[in-house]
Every structure is written in structure tokens, then in C-alpha cells.
Amino acid sequence: MEPSPLEPVDESWENALVVVAHPDDVEFGTAAAIARWTDQGKTVVYCLVTSGEAGIDGMTPDEAREVRIGEQIASARVVGVDTVEFLGMPDGIVEYGLPLRRAITEVIRKHRPNIVITNNFRESWGGTFPNQSDHIAVGRGTLDAIRDAGNRWVFPEQLTDGVEPWGDVRQLWAAGSPDAAHGVDTTDTFDRGVESLKAHEAYLAGLGGSWANFDPVEFLEGVSRPAGTRLGVTFAAAFEVFSMSYGE
Ligand SMILES: [Zn+2]
């Protein structure tokens, strides 16, 4: 069966907020798209729900936390992102629920994005390989927080010191979703996406098992080329688009 074509995402926006579970989540396929948008003069802010402290088998969480925060900030800089927020929730055991929604809502009200981007939060990545629990919780929590942010009666304790509800998020984009029907051309910024992933040096060095010989270029080509083919370009990032306006 021929893969279905991707429709270009709407790029008529100024500010985006990226909410993901772990340092490295953006870099596994989306960072080149972020570079394209910051090159266009758009502002992109990253929000990391955890600090990825449980991500390196040979390093204790206390040690890994600082290393991974540093690597995430460095990888963000490569693609033109200067603001990186960390919510400090526990890596590997993020729970969907009100504390998660409340924390993401606060970030949305602070940065007032037009577009919010998260990771795929479907049950799988398309094949039989199951998605990870933190990704699913964070994606669902982000979707709900977009609504919460616009409702002044939800988490009203946040609305002090000039903080207002923010109900103008137009769309949520889930990167790498198996149900993606949209995409963006990342051909020109592909190399910066690779550099951004390589900035997770300690994390990549600590990968074991079937990931032990991981090659960032090979991996990113492997996900970006099929998406590019569907979009009619060399490389692309694919997104499932959720409209946040009823009826669209
Ligand atoms: Zn992750």
C-alpha cells in the first residue's frame, strides 16, 4: 500500500510551545522543524516535564539530572530555542492527572502560544512497538491543559500578578504520530536537527542493548525520508494535527 500524502502544516503563527516528557524527545525527529521555524523569526519555547534523570542506566538520577538538563539546553540552542523550562516531574513514572494538567496550564498561560507541539501520544509508533507511558500521559495532559488554560475557573489560583487565561492555542501537533496527516519540509535544516540530537552526548553514549550502535544521522534519515516522500520533498517531520477550535 502506498503511504498517504502529507498536507503541509499551517505555518502562519508566531509563537509555539513544545511540551514533551524527556530531554531528547524533540531531537528524535522534530528538531530540524524547530530550526526551520526559528529561522523564519518565530519564537519557540521548550517545556520538559521531566529532567530525564532515569534515562541513563549507568548514572544515578541525581547525577543524570544535571547532565541531561545541560544537554537539553545545549540542543535547544542549536535550533534557535533560548527558553527551556523544566517542570521537574519524576522521569519514567509521570502520571496523567490534575497535577500534570495544572503544571502545563501554568506554562501555557505564561508563554501564550498559538501552536502547541508534543510527542506522539497514541498507543504505538505505528508498528507493534508500544509507546512509552510518560509520552502518553504528557500528550493527553497537554491536550487537556490547552483547554484548561483558556478557562478562568480552572486552576484560578494561577491568575494573579497579571496572569490571564489564554484560549488562543489554535492547534496541537503530535510529532511522529502514526496518524500523522500533516508535515513540514526539513530538508534545509536537517543537519541542524542532527547536531541538536548529538548534543545529548552522555545520553547517547549510555544507550545499550539494541540501541548500542545508534547513529543519529542514520536514525533521523530513517524517520525524515519517508515523511519527506509523503510530503514531496527530501526530508520532513510529520505531525498529527488536533484543531482546538470546535467545528474546524
Ligand atoms: Zn521520551
What digits encode the pLDDT tens for the residues 143-202? 999 999 999 999 999 999 999 999 999 999 999 999 999 999 999 999 999 999 999 999
CA of 40 to the centre of ligand 1 (A): 27
In the prediction, which pLDDT does 1 show? 62
CA 195, CA 32: separation in Å to the nearest integer? 9
Whole-number Å distance, alpha carbon 211 to ligand 1 midpoint, is 14
Distance (Å) from CA 35 to ligand 1 centroid: 20
C-alpha cell at 138: 504528557
- What pLDDT, on the 0 to 100 scale, is given for residue 31? 98
- Expressed in angstroms and rounded, the spacing between residue 119 Cα and the centre of ligand 1 is 8
Question: How many whole angstroms from 48 Cα to the centroid of ligand 1?
Answer: 10
Task: Calculate ∠ Cα 66-101-9, nearest 5°.
Answer: 85
Cα 56 to averaged position of ligand 1 atoms, centre (Å): 12
Distance 173 CA to ligand 1 centre (A): 16
Query: One-letter amino acid identity for 197?
Result: L
- Low-confidence residues of the chain, pLDDT below 70? 1, 248
44, containing H or E segment: strand 43-50
CA of 168 to the centre of ligand 1 (A): 27
Burial 44-78 (b: 16+ CB within 10 A, else e): bbbbbbbbbbbbbeebebeebbebbbebbbbbbeb
Q: Could you give the CA distance from residue 171 to residue 191 in angstroms, rounded to a whole number? A: 27
DSSP output for 128-151: SPBPPHHHHHHHHHHHHHHHHHH-
Q: What is the pLDDT of residue 146?
A: 98
Residue 66 C-alpha to ligand 1 middle, in angstroms?
A: 17
pLDDT at 111: 98
Cell of 197: 540530537
d(CA 244, CA 205): 39
Ligand 1 mean position, distance from CA 132 (Å):
7
